[in-house]
Structure 1
Amino acid sequence: MLNHSLHKPPAKPFLTAGAKAAQLSPTFIFSGQNFFPAGKKRVLRRQHGWASVKAMASPTAVTTGNTTSVKAVVTVLQPVGGVLSHLGLSRGLDDIADLLGKTLRIELVAAELEPKSGQEKPSITSYAHKSYLPSQTPSGLIKHRAKELTILRGDGQGERKTFERIYDYDVYNDLGDPDADDDLARPVLGGPDHPYPRRGRTGRPRTKQDPLSESKSPTSSVYVPRDEAFSEIKQEQYSAKTMYSVLHMLIPSVKTSIVDSTRGFPHFTAIDTLYNEGVLLPDIPSTGLGSMLPRVVRFIEDTKDTVLQFETPELIDRDKFAWFRDAEFARQTLAGQNPLCIKLVTEWPLKSELDPKIYGPAESAITKELVENVIGGHMTVDEAFKQKKLFILDYHDIFLPYVNKVRELKGTTFYGSRTLFFLMPGGVLRPVAIELVRPPVDGKPQWKEVYQPSWNPTGIWLWRLAKAHVLAHDSAFHQLCNHWLRTHCCSEPYVIATNRQLSAMHPIYRLLHPHLRYTMEINSMSRDSLISANGFIEGAYSTSKYSAELSSHLYDKLWQFDVESLPADLINRGMAVEDPTAPHGLKLTIEDYPYANDGLLLYDAIKEWVTDYVTHYYPEANLVQSDSELQSWWTEIRTLGHTDKKDEPWWPQLKSPQDLIGILTSIIWVVSGHHAAVNFAQFDFGGYFPNRPTITRTPMPTEDPSEEEKKKFLERPEAFLLDCLPSQMQAMNVLAVLDVVSAHSPDEEYLGEKIEPFWAEDKVIAAAFTRFNGRMKEIEGIIDGRNADTSLMNRTGAGVVPYTLLKPFSEPGVTLKGVPNSVSI
């Protein structure tokens, strides 16, 4: 069975004790009175010692019908939160309390144990530890293998119960809450109007106001199959305590401590008080919040006050003014929290592909003359284009259709934008121009303007404001596309299909299992509190109530499985070209590209491990083609999990071991390296919000300004910028959430760190994993060496935050490093 305490849960329970074993009721609860049948001899062996107390019970049930005999290993564990912590039916059979209130781990096994060693005796039932392709399944297990998958798929009917292990698909129809307020209604994501991946089905009742939407859960938890639930350590670190405390206790207290929720910071030094003095929280409830959020909440013994005080983000701890510099603005496109959007300019002049009848003239206002005003001392635009020296952050076409929608909302504004960079001789980027665009609206024609670095006072403040808008665009794209959509949302179908179509005995199930850990649970929490109507994202980002809908737009226009691998993504963005003579088979367009350089080390190591694993089980193509479970798995991912894109021509075929290696390597890369790169830098780069504002609240002072706005900008440009940036309440909410999601849990499992028990059973696989583990340790040293190389100016230098995000291993907490196996936070 599963253990949600100190040990890692094994793969799906698969009983091999006989045909009746799978019929145990999931609602049967053991107690001190009924664990052993009355009147029967009890066989009990105990070994004393912490975490090694074991017992073997051999009961014979007294019933009038069929009987089932099982053997069990019982491990007594102390709950993380103390005696009786987290005890309840929501655990099903996973956590059980004995008469003393201790937590018991019940693990059904299929073989006798040696009295001295505690190890299983060799027996025919030990085949449960081996991996089998469907065609190789022992005859005694064929029926049970199929039956297990049938049970896991369910029948698609009714509301799911917390103790169930049923995996099914549904659309994202639970982000709104129309029964609470009409303004909280949100469109269903998934279908022709709003294409989207599918989520795990919960079967909750529909809302009264909208028969297409699913109602909110009456409790704080949303159903996920119990195999996907957080361990107790994870509960303590993230869900039940930490994030719940932030969203339901800390943020409400912040609101009560701020008189005007729209008020910005009066001056930049006021922002510093969030880190060096803190903010008094007078109405915080006395529930031990400080122990749950030790990095955020301080208790002052003398005054008995509770203070909200954040750790200083690494960026400004090293260089307080780094965020102000153009060089750092450019460097972070290669080595910041969103290094996946910079791309090579492949067409000149720049031009939109949107309909000019709706969005206005397609030609960009960034002209050859404007660019050469900045780079003229180095080369012409034509030379820069031919030599691949021009790069761009392009949020023009993808955001422009939502600009007018967002601008109808209070407290936010939006543009389409283009930001052009020039690659200097030293290998660093220099920002050249920013173009902001508003489409036609209310009889007004399209508005667009270009801003550039300037030496005059007005020009430099306009440039700083334009950078703030671009950074807000980059923050929104990072969160909605590169983070939520590509790693969380698009990966959930992999979890569901793997459990529905691949038996727990299948070698590919066992390869993928560590990489699917906690993803459904974290996604269910995100749907409930983070991307939901009036949730964290809507309150903190420029896109507001259109955030989730915009992520559907991004999925429709941008997501393709065949470019999710790191090499394909780099090639697609023009950041690399294939070169068999170069390391990793790629020549980078920008040689000092920290995310790409470190990422390719990880990607190649993953591919080598996957290759060793796959070729061991599939030495010939016909084994891939004839594997019914594997073919059903890949078909279901395409046709059910990503059904809105099922007919796209770019889906890879699955006919050979090489096809399978490519598919699996892409999946594992996205949930490990890709996710680590976009998640664990959020606090240290975004925790000082002028560096990464999530929202801009006012338009540029050159776009239809009033006389009052003109005067304010000219007389107090600093105040104008602060009013544009997030409000005090928005900033504190963002910091609190980023502090939680940027942290590693104590029970985190890192890429290549620990061998799975099933892998260890096979000498060939065990040897391959040993090589993989060794390569991870080598990569740690390689990255340290790169960060010590002063010639690599995009990752080192005075006050520069080294690029450590793809170092495989980490300690718990906010560390700016560590690559977990899965999307686990």
Structure 2
Amino acid sequence: MVDYIVTVFTADLLNATTLNNVHIKLVGTDGESKRTWLMGLKGLASFFRGAESCFTVNCSTSLGKLVLIELDKNHLPLFPEDSWFPAKVEVKSPEGDTYTFPIYRWITDCEVHRFREGTALTIIDDTHPLGRYARQEELQQRAKDYCWHVYAEGIPHCIDAEDPLSLPCEVQFSFTKKTEFAYDAATGLMDLELKGLADYKAKWTDMDAIKRAFWYKLSHIPNYVQEHWKEDAFFSYQFLNGINPMMIQRCTTLPENFPVTDDMVFLSGQGSLTDEMKKGNIFLCDYKLLDGLKANTINGKKQYLMAPLVLLHKRPDDTLMPIAIQLKQTPADDNPIFLPTDSEYDWLIAKIFVRSADFNEHQLNVHLLRTHLLAEVFAVSLLRNIPMVHPLYKLLIPHTRYTLQINVLARVTLISPTGIFTQFTASGGEAMTTILKRSLSSLTYRSLCIPEDIADRGLEDVPNFYYRDDGLKLWDIIHRFVKGVLSYYYKKDTEVQDDPELQKWISDIFEHGFLSQAATGIPERFTTVAELVKFVTMVIFTCSAQHAAVNSGQYDFCGWMPNTPSSLQLPPPTKKGKTSKEKMLQTFPDVNVTVKSMATVWLLSKHSSDSVYLGQYPEGHFSEDTPCKLIKAFQGQLKVLSAAIKARNESLEIPYTFMDPAEVENSVSI
């Protein structure tokens, strides 16, 4: 007889405990053990939350190298069936070898569940018949659990789930996340002390009334926004370091539909647009994606959503300033080009229409499509096509945490026919789907890779561009980490080419995420290790750093409504000299629209207490020394970058914290 020492680790999570009987079977290259009841000295406490319990499994002979374990549980007569969350199982063999079996998932039934030994294996390296069989069986079950669904034609496909409870348990929120999110969602207006205004369908009558609604939960940045929102310098700053740094690009030739002249922007012939463009000092923001849309109707009133063009100039002192705004795409006598030399409220209302357009562009294209929906595609394809034992699964699964549930919630509560965004934004209704379709059709792989995106937009040397500075450093750190891990498992390009699971993963992403549009530049298959490394880097960057950059500051920059109105209810001026403070107040969204939007961006900016930040891997999916050392090196580099960002921010009037690794979550979870 030989003994195997089995140690079972139950996760330290709320409700992770089971009072059911747990059984195990060890399966090795030379045989398998009997199904053994794991009963120890701790009794029912053996599988309490956070417990580490040891057991002995007797076998007549050695089982050889362990390949997998089988776990199942069944309830006692007086106890109901419950859910259990084992973290991992460690087995010490009679030969002195220790095998680790990562689990990190809920077991909710009495079925047999198989888990592979922790060594990462591609299908090429997984040569044992038992391993191959378990691999195939796992993916067959996953294909049933994670099905594709077409939410709307022309946008990325999603998980087939009507509500969070219809998702597999392993991808649902934890009890902590679920409770906190539900509480915050239910009490958002109350927490902001806005409950009495939520149904008030009147216009704002003065700025002091808006301030009284906004006074609560102010920190440095929201307070700064309230004080400086009218200023040209702050208006321009937000194109670089606000929540939408994706619109601005260097302008080398004026668009034909934006007929700005030298006399408009340079007084007394003191400059030339042509000369300034040659020097690289002119920048453009073009919201053409919003052109021709049918705006929403809110509180029975037609809303207005423009597709503006904005010209900016970098001055000799490196400040970026707006010099011209055209609110519609087609030049016309009733579509004037607004200038800083216009009257105070003509110029201010033009900037307000730009900021409202930016809100809608940001929420649907930059935020929803380019982070949430793509992250969901990456996750569903991973879960359908890549088994737990595969190195790609181990590398990417932390970056899918909570993504499926938060997106299901978004479809139910935000963008559904009765959702908050549908009801209270200018782009709600049919315009929403049009924007998403246009956004996907114009999306490119290069624009998802920050080094190429920055180069393509000509922004390599723009001063005080912290999104670029921090983002490029983060991309480089992530890329080196991904390259180290994947190069350990794929030594040659042919190994990538010959991995059918890997190829099915990217093939599904191309088909279901980018609707087989070759013009996007998204690869249909991988041919080299370098291609794989770049794409996986983009996936991790999108799910972590990019999402943080366009999500975390939503309340900071959008909480003060005049800075970023979700909708506007009067048309833009067709002639100069007609706008007043009173006209501006009448243009702003109604009180209920304002406070509902404020509460929503506050909720979407909140981290939960169980958030997991970039580089933290509490679930030990990798067991080999090399990837574990690479993870530690990755964490060290992120700490160095975080310290550098914090040091820089000490001297900034507005600290840029959104891409500080210590503030960036691993996944799209909010």
Distance in structure 2 (CA, Å) of the matches to 1:804 and 1:783: 8
1:609 and 2:552 aligned: no
Specify which of 125, 133, 140 is matched with residue 136 of structure 1: 125
Q: How far 1:43 moved relative to its partner?
A: 4.8
Asked whether 1:660 is paired with 2:547, we answer no
Query: 1:447/1:225 Cα in 2 relative to 1: closer, same or farther (>3 Å)?
Result: farther
Report Cα offsets for 1:386-424 as digits up to 9, x if no partner: 1111101111x3221215788998341122210110011
What are the within-5 Å matches in structure 2 for residues 728-743 of structure 1? 728-743=591-606
Please give the per-residue CA displacement for 1:628-685, whole angstroms capped at 9, x wherever unaligned: 1111111111123332525755537511110111100111111111100000001111
Q: Aligned in 2, Cα 1:255/1:148: closer, same or farther, shift over 3 Å?
A: same
1:629 aligns with 2:501: yes
Q: Is the 8 A contact 2:188 2:600 kept in 1?
A: yes
Q: Which amino acid aligns with 2:122?
A: L
Change in Cα spacing, 1:451 to 1:629, as seen in structure 2 (3 Å) is same
- In the alignment, structure 1 residue 804 sits paired with structure 2 residue 649: no
Q: 1:777 aligns with which of 616, 628, 639?
A: 639
CA contact (8 A) 1:538 1:544 kept: yes
Deviation at 1:366, TM superposition (A): 2.3
- Aligned equivalents of 1:526 and 1:317: distance in 2? 28
Q: 2:403 aligns with which of 512, 519, 536?
A: 519
Q: Say if 1:391 and 1:420, in contact at 8 Å, map to a contact too.
A: yes
State the alpha-carbon separation in 2 of the partners of residues 97 and 484 from structure 1: 46
* Deviation of the 1:776 alpha carbon: 0.8
Which residue of 1 is the match for residue 138 of structure 2?
A: 148
Write out per-residue CA displacement over residues 537-564 of structure 1, whole angstroms, 9 at most, x where no aligned residue. Answer: 1223221213431332333432122320
Distance 1:168 1:451 in 2: 50
Q: Which residue of 1 aligns with 2:242?
A: 336
* Conserved? CA contact 2:284–2:309, under 8 Å: yes
Counterpart in 2 of 1:419? 310
Q: Report the Cα distance in structure 1 between the residues aligned to 2:486 and 2:639, rounded to whole angstroms.
A: 23
Q: Does 1:433 align with 2:327?
A: no
CA distance in 1: counterparts of 2:236 and 2:394, whole angstroms: 42
- Larger strand proportion of the pair: 2
Asked if 1:122 is matched to 2:61, the reply is no
- Structural mapping, 1:720-735, within 5 Å: 720-735=583-598
1:5 to 5, 13, 30: 13
1:44 is displaced (CA, Å) by 4.7
1:270 alignment counterpart: 209
CA distance in 1, matches of 2:314, 2:297: 34
1:41 offset after TM fit, Å?
A: 11
Q: Which residue identity does 1:764 align to in structure 2?
A: T
* Equivalent residue runs for 1:142-291 within 5 Å: 142-154=132-144, 166-172=145-151, 189-190=152-153, 195-202=154-161, 221=164, 223-238=166-181, 240-246=182-188, 260-261=200-201, 263-276=202-215
Residue 151 of structure 1 aligns to a residue whose secondary structure is helix
CA distance in 1, matches of 2:436, 2:47: 54
Aligned counterparts of 1:167 and 1:258: Cα–Cα separation in 2: 38
Question: Aligned partner of 2:185: which letter?
Answer: M
Q: Deviations over 1:367-390 (max 9, x none)?
A: 33312239x54x311110111111
Matched AA of 1:486: R
SS at match of 1:135: coil
Letter in 1 for 2:158: R
Aligned to 1:311: 217
Q: Which amino acid aligns with 2:547?
A: H
Alignment of 1:470-481 (within 5 A): 470-481=354-365
Instruction: Indicate if the aligned counterparts of 2:146 and 2:159 stay in contact, CA closer than 8 A.
Output: yes
Identity of aligned residues (%): 24
Rounded Cα–Cα distance in structure 2 between residues aligned with 1:647 and 1:97: 59
Normalising by structure 2, what TM-score? Answer: 0.84
Q: Displacement of 1:778 after TM fit?
A: 0.5
Evaluate the alpha carbon distance shift between residue 110 and residue 389 of structure 1 in structure 2; reply closer, same or farther with a 3 A threshold: closer
Contact 2:15 2:84 in 1 (8 A): no
CA shift at 1:45, angstroms? 3.6
Residues 1:758 and 2:621 are matched in the alignment: yes
Secondary structure of 1:569's partner?
A: helix
328 and 415 in structure 1: CA distance in 2 versus 1, 3 angstrom threshold: same
Does the CA-based 8 Å contact 1:230-1:518 persist in structure 2? Answer: yes
- Residue 629 of structure 2 is aligned to residue 767 of structure 1: yes
Change (3 A) 1:325 1:595: same
AA aligned opposite 2:666: N
Per-residue CA shift, 1:444-465, capped at 9, x if unaligned? x8842111112x6xx2211001
Say if 1:344 and 1:391, in contact at 8 Å, map to a contact too.
yes
Q: Measure, in 2, the Cα distance between the counterparts of 1:406 and 1:439.
A: 24
Whether the aligned pair in 2 keeps the contact of 1:59 and 1:70 (CA below 8 Å) is no
Does the CA-based 8 Å contact 2:413-2:420 persist in structure 1? yes
User: Where does residue 445 of structure 2 map in the other structure?
Assistant: 561
Report the CA distance shift for 1:783/1:7 in structure 2 as closer, same or farther (over 3 A). farther
Secondary structure at the aligned position of 1:520 is classed as helix
Q: What is the identity, as a one-letter code, of the residue corresponding to 2:568?
A: T
C-alpha distance after superposition, 1:64-91 (max 9, x if no partner): xxxxx987699xxxxxxxxxxxxxxxxx
Say if 1:57 and 1:72, in contact at 8 Å, map to a contact too. no
Paired position in structure 2 for 1:380: 272
Report the Cα distance in structure 2 between the residues aligned to 1:6 and 1:268, rounded to whole angstroms. Answer: 46
Distance 2:317 2:77 in 1: 67
Deviation at 1:339, TM superposition (A): 1.4
Amino acid at match of 1:471: R
Could you tell me how far 1:143 is from its partner in structure 2?
Answer: 1.1
**CA drift at 1:345:** 0.9
> Are positions 1:746 and 2:618 aligned together?
no
Deviation for aligned residue 1:137: 0.8
Q: Is the 8 A contact 1:54 1:73 kept in 2?
A: no
Report the equivalent of 1:392: 284
Equivalent position of 2:61 in the other structure: none
Range moving further from structure 2, 498-507 or 639-648: 639-648
**Matching of residues 341-380 of structure 1 within 5 Å:** 341-348=247-254, 350-351=255-256, 363-373=257-267, 377=270, 379-380=271-272
**Alignment-derived partner of residue 449 in structure 1:** 336
Shifted more, 642-651 versus 386-395: the winner is 642-651
Q: Which residue of 1 aligns with 2:112?
A: none
RMSD between superposed Cα atoms in Å:
3.8
TM-score of the two chains, using structure 1 as the length reference: 0.69
Contact kept, 8 Å, 1:371 with 1:432, in 2: the verdict is yes
Give the unaligned 5+ runs of structure 2.
1-8, 18-23, 29-34, 59-67, 103-115
Give the corresponding residue for 1:464: 348
Pick closer, same or farther for the CA change 1:368–1:152 going to 2, 3 Å.
same
